[in-house]
């Protein structure tokens, strides 16, 4: 049987800032000192927000929370590449994206406290609400990106999902539709190595997740997701392609250094050795080392940034708790049905008795 090669492909991998804080000078994006400091500040604030939120949850003051510890470069670097007219379509652990688009910190906590006020997004922020069903948000982003193409607008949508979502049909359908209809969309897969407890190596036999773009006829590229400069550069390039009707899938290789959510215990499915190995590749540490080498940061400035973040978080936590204390749990019953079913009428009556005792 005669055979011939009908298709070949390669996947490029990008890294600008290595694990020791050294850069490839030819690839470093041109960013002002102010922007570099802001990238650093956003990553540190994201981590401290997650750490404080986990502590609050452990004290019973917060509901389920999905931290992004270890993934700060993938999120901050990509969001920093966006124009204000671009849309963000997140999953459920991208708290920093909301903060970067103007959501106050206390509202992030309100959301985790179960308060509907926490889901309020500032006017003009162009951010969609969190998507809990895995991978479904990729379809929404494709729709927005297609809409931009139909209107002839020079803007794009970027959506975020994890490595586990690439095994879901929604994501492939979104990639394929985007390619077929020139949707102005960037798909950013945060490959944090685990789909809850399922390792990446078990998730797929594909050598890279970026190559899943090939079947959809769009460009796929891999980037070191712990390199904020590399993620920024790769996303900037991808957005330029997307705005021309050429969608792109970015696989940002990173590591979730914390739990999937606060209801998860990663110690039962991964080793201390593995976590120690990824700690050496921490995105904040390597960027801080680089900024020190460029005389952008020193001990005093690092301390000042840390103190400002702590003060900001203290104020946000106090405001979140004050707002929560004003919530009447009866609202759950008042605003769910026009007419309460008998079973909920009974629950409401029992709750009122319990509250008044």
Catalytic residue list: 256, 260, 269
Q: Kindly give, in sequence order, each residue whose CB lies less than 8 Å from that of residue 105, ignoring residues fewer than 6 positions away.
A: 49, 99, 312, 313, 316
CB 219 within 8 A of CB 249: yes
What separation in angstroms does the CA of 215 have from each of 9, 209, 240?
10, 12, 21
**Token pair in block for residue 111:** 């959301």
Which of 193, 178, 167 lies closest to 248, judged by CA? 178
The Cα 289–Cα 270 span in angstroms is 28
Map tokens 């470069």 to a residue: 73
Is 38 exposed, middle or buried, given 0-12, 13-18 or 19+ CB atoms closer than 10 A? middle
Residues 6+ apart with CB under 8 A from 157: 86, 87, 88, 89, 141, 142, 144, 145, 148, 183, 184, 185, 186
* Tokens 């809409």 found at: 147
Enumerate residues 6+ apart whose C-beta is below 8 A from 317: 52, 56, 106, 109
How would you list the strands of the sheet with 248-253, edge to edge?
12-14, 219-224, 248-253, 185-191, 157-162, 87-89
């Amino acid at each position: 049987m005669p055979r011939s090669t009908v298709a070949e492909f390669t996947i490029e991998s990008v890294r600008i800032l290595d694990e020791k804080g050294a850069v490839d000078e030819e690839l470093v994006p041109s960013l002002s000192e102010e922007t570099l400091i802001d990238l650093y500040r956003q990553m540190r604030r994201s981590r401290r927000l997650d750490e404080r939120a986990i502590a609050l949850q452990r004290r019973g003051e917060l509901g389920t929370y999905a931290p992004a510890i270890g993934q700060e470069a993938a999120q901050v670097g990509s969001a920093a590449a966006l124009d204000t007219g671009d849309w963000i379509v997140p999953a459920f652990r991208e708290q920093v994206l909301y903060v970067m688009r103007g959501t106050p910190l206390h509202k992030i906590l309100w959301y985790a406290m179960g308060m509907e006020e926490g889901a309020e997004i500032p006017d003009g922020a162009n951010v969609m609400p969190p998507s809990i069903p895995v991978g479904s948000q990729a379809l929404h982003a494709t729709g927005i990106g297609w809409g931009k193409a139909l209107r002839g607008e020079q803007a794009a949508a970027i959506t975020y999902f994890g490595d586990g979502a690439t095994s879901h049909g929604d994501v492939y359908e979104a990639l394929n539709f985007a390619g077929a209809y020139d949707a102005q969309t960037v798909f950013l897969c945060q490959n944090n190595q685990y789909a809850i407890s399922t390792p990446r190596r078990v998730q797929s036999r594909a050598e890279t997740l970026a190559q899943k773009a090939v079947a959809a006829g769009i460009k796929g590229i891999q980037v070191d997701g712990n390199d904020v400069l590399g993620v920024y550069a790769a996303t900037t390039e991808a957005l330029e392609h997307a705005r021309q009707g050429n969608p792109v899938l970015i696989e940002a290789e990173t590591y979730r250094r914390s739990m999937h959510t606060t209801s998860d215990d990663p110690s039962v499915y991964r080793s201390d050795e593995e976590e120690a190995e990824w700690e050496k590749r921490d995105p904040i540490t390597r960027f801080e080392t680089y900024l020190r080498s460029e005389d952008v940061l020193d001990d005093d400035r690092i301390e000042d940034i840390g103190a400002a973040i702590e003060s900001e978080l203290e104020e946000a936590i106090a405001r979140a708790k004050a707002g929560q204390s004003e919530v009447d749990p009866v609202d759950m019953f008042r605003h769910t049905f026009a007419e309460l079913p008998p079973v909920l009428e009974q629950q409401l009556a029992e709750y009122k008795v319990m509250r008044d005792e």
